[in-house]
Chain A
Amino acid sequence: MGTVEYIQHHLQNNAVCSADNINPATGLCEGFWTFHMDTILISIALGALIILVAARLGKRLEAGAPSGFQNAVEGVLDFVGQQVRDTFPGKNPLIAPLALTIFVWVWLMNFMDLIPVDLLPLLAQMVTGDPHFHLKVVPTTDLNTTMAMALSVFALIIFYNIKVKGLWGFTKMFLFHPFGKFFIPFNIVMTLIEEVSKPLSLGLRLFGNMFAGELVFLLIALIGGTLAVGIGALFWAPLQALLGLGWLIFHILVITLQAFIFMVLTIVYLGMAHTEMDDH
């Protein structure tokens, strides 16, 4: 398998669609009504994992002195709660669970990136017996996942904007912001860009970081895979291991940071939606 094919194969989702939507030339699904089964199943499995672990923990909660796992979970909850208290004005019981969900879920989905790139796809190919079986294990390298969350947050932003400021207040935000009443057309364009950039920056940032990270892992994996032939393996294989380890350690930081950024920006955007506009 060539380098380009290897990478392309790894970046291909396991797509399911009706027969009409399959491109006869490539054999791949096209059009809107396509489902990325790997993205959906893995992200839902990780979500189920959160719920299962939480439910198991909930059965043996210790009120007095928590120990071990409960302590760690409480640490995460406290951390998220602190972020919400620090950046979110006022009270909204939805914000903290939303932020917690984003942080934990995104982190877990990002964490799939740390599993060796070829391990799960190879396993899947062995299990299914199909050497061309597509499996993209990191749901956050799928734009659909990141944009799904970003658009959900965007919907909440608009909802709370209207709920807090009122419909007229929300309209005023477009008309008189940021330059006052003499620049209404300009203001509308500016505010539109400002608002639309929120979900885009949320979704694309996470997607871009994780996609690029995945790509670097693939490239590192290629060092050994393509160059380690004969005596060269003595040099290239250790180099791959070393680079892989380095990027892995760095990536632990990246996945946490990206989950954190997504969470904090969500809190900030919703906080902005909750603040009254001062009249210009």
Chain B
Amino acid sequence: MSINATLLIQIIAFVLLIWFVNKVLWGPISKLMEERQKRIADGLSAAEKGKRELELAEKRAKEVLKEAKEQAQNIIGQAEKRANEIVDDAKTKAQEEADRVRAGAQAELAQEVAAAREQLRGDVAKLAVAGAGQILAVEIDAAKHQDILDRLVKQI
């Protein structure tokens, strides 16, 4: 029970054991644990980064979507406007065409009426000359009495 040389042996054993424990137990395992700790920390920060990037991407996607919607709205609006314009244009053109056709028809009609009237006038003049000739029993020289005839025609 007293202090003796066992003490020396125990000191040597203790020192050797510390050396061995450092070599085979503390050294490798604490290194392993440190590496794992680092890996976990890296993983966590990477996950955090990924999450942030995802959020950013989602935000961007939303913006792009909003922009696209606006653009689509614009395009639709423009298309509607254009369609209205085209319809209006077509309407005006049709109206114009119709007007033109009607005007042409009316002009032709008027011309034909005038021509018919002229012809009728000529015919009446001839009829009148023939009638007068017969009444006077004199051959009227058409060339001689042209001015009379013309006056007559105008009077009819």
CB within 8 Å of B: which residues of A? 11, 13, 31-36, 39-40, 43-44, 47, 50-51, 54-55, 57-58, 61, 63-64, 73-74, 77-78, 81, 94, 96-98, 100-101, 104-105, 139, 142-145, 147-149, 151-152
Contact = CB atoms under 8 A, between A and B. Distances in A.
Given A50-B25, A51-B20, A78-B33, A39 B15 contact: no
Helix, strand, loop or mixed for chain A's interface? helix
A50 B3 contact: no
A88 to B, nearest CB: 14
A117 B16 CA distance: 29
Contacts, number: 120
Interface string B34-68: 01100000000000000000000000000000000
23 contacts: A13-B6, A34-B4, A35-B6, A36-B4, A43-B13, A51-B17, A54-B21, A54-B24, A57-B25, A57-B29, A61-B29, A77-B29, A77-B30, A94-B18, A94-B22, A97-B25, A100-B21, A139-B10, A142-B1, A148-B7, A148-B9, A152-B11, A152-B15
Contacts of B10: 39-40, 43, 139, 144-145, 148-149
A78 to B, nearest CB: 7
B2 interface: yes
B13 A100 contact: no
Nearest to A61: B32
Contacts of A96: 26, 30
A16 B102 CA distance: 145
Helix, strand, loop or mixed for chain B's interface? helix
A32 B4 contact: yes
Contacts of B32: 61, 63
Contacts of B35: 63
A77 B27 CA distance: 10
Contact of B26 (A32, A55, A97): A97
A151 B8 CA distance: 10
B137 interface: no
Instruction: Sort A-B residue pairs by CB-CB distance and give the 8 closest, nearest first.
Output: A148-B10, A97-B22, A144-B6, A54-B25, A97-B26, A34-B4, A36-B6, A144-B7
B28 interface: yes
B24 A40 contact: no
A35 B12 CA distance: 14
